Amino acid sequence: MSSDLTVRDASASDLDAMTAVYVECFNAPPWNDGWSSADAGERLRGIVEARHFRGAVAESHGVLVGLLLGQKERWMGSFHFNLQEMCVLSAWQRQGIGRALLNHISGTLKREGTDKIYLITGPNTDAAAYYEALGFYSSRSRIVMASPLKV
């Protein structure tokens, strides 16, 4: 990791910079999502304004290069953390920034008594392999299901 990189807690004041990073990351390969700045900003604002929001950002010389956002959810006797968004600008990938963001948020969550981190990612993807390399595993007790809304 670059010595000029800092990782700190994210806040609502980072929203514009986080939106720009998010759009750049997820509109590029391999996702090619097509986010508008308005839609991405609305999504991230919803996460940041959640009651139990926790997040981290990585900066180099004051410029945001990566983010990790999510929220804690009450569970029996503790909390779980739902990691909702994590991305690092392509020029900064493979430098340990994702790991630094996860380490930062993990330290915060552990001090707060959070037991587990959950995330959703695509199966058989580079992202899934990345998270597996960091110790994440497919939960045997949870699956993700979806249903289109019918009118």
Return the SS3 of 5. Answer: strand
Among 112, 123, 99, 18, smallest CA distance to 73 is for 112
Contact 39, 14 (CB under 8 A): no
Q: How far is CA 150 from the centre of its chain?
A: 30
Share of the chain above pLDDT 70, in %: 99
In the predicted structure, residue 151 carries a pLDDT above the cut 90: no
Output the CA–CA distances (angstroms, integers) from residue 67 to 10, 139, 145, in the order listed. 8, 24, 26
Question: Which pLDDT score is estimated for 122?
Answer: 87
In the predicted structure, residue 68 carries a pLDDT above the cut 90: yes
The stretches of 30-71 forming alpha helices (DSSP H) are 37-48
In the predicted structure, residue 1 carries a pLDDT above the cut 80: no
pLDDT (tens digit per residue) in 126-142:
999 999 999 999 988 88
pTM score: 0.92
> How many Å apart are CA 65 and CA 73, to the nearest integer?
27
Mean pLDDT score, 62-74: 97
Assign domain 5-133 to its CATH superfamily: Gcn5-related N-acetyltransferase (GNAT) (3.40.630.30)
pLDDT (tens digit per residue) in 14-60:
999 999 999 999 999 989 999 999 999 999 999 999 999 999 999 99
